[in-house]
Amino acid sequence: MPAPDAAVHCRCAHDKGFTLIELLVMMALIAVIASFAVPQIGNFLYADQLKMTVRKLVGLVHRSAQKAQQYQIPFVLTYKPGERLFVVEPEERSLAGKREVAVNREDHLYLADTVTVQDVWTWFGGMYASDGVGIRFSKNGYVEPTIIHLRREDGEAMSVILTPFLGKVKIVDGYAPSETAALFQ
C-alpha cells in the first residue's frame, strides 16, 4: 500500500473551524443580500408612517361623528398647520358649556414627521391649501363631502374621502381630484 502523500491534506476530526476563504465568501454574500434588503426596509418604514397616519385620521373622523351624536351638538375636526395637529372640538364653546364635553388625548392627532397635509377640499368651502381648516360634523354626525390629501416627503400621497350620510370613509392611493363626483357615492 502506498504511503500517503504529504502534500495531500485531509480534514481530521480535530479540524472544526472554517477557513479564511470560506468566511470571506459568506461575508460577501451577506453584504450583497443586505444591499438589496436595506432600501426595501426603508421604503416599508416610510410607507408605514403614511398609512399609520391615515388610519389614525380615519379613527379621528369616526370619533368626531360619534362625539357629535353623543352630545347632540356640532363638532369640528380642525387642522392646525403650525402645530401639525388635527383636533376634535365642539363647534361653539358656549354650547359645549351646557353639557360637559371632555376633550382628551384621543381627540388629537399629531402628524408623523415625514407626513404633511397637502390640501383639504370641502364641498362648500372649496380648496384649502396652507391655512387651517375645520371640517364640521352636524349634531347627527353628518359631514359635508371632504377630501383630505396627505403626502409623504418622498412624494407618495394618499387621499381620505369623507362621505356625508353613510359615515363611510374611503382611502385612495395617490391624489384624488375633487372633480370626480363618483368619489362620494
CA 177 to the chain's CA centroid = 20
Average pLDDT of the residues of the chain: 82
pTM score, two decimals? 0.69
pLDDT at 183: 58
pLDDT digits over 120-129, tens only? 998 888 888 7
Whether 162 and 146 have beta carbons less than 8 Å apart is answered as yes
φ, ψ of residue 153 in degrees (nearest 5): -65, -20
Domain boundaries, the chain: 20-184
Do the strands 146-152 and 133-137 form a parallel or antiparallel pair, or are they unpaired? unpaired
Architecture of domain 20-184: 3-Layer(bab) Sandwich (3.55)
Among candidates 150, 174, 172, 173, which has minimal Cα distance to 161? 172
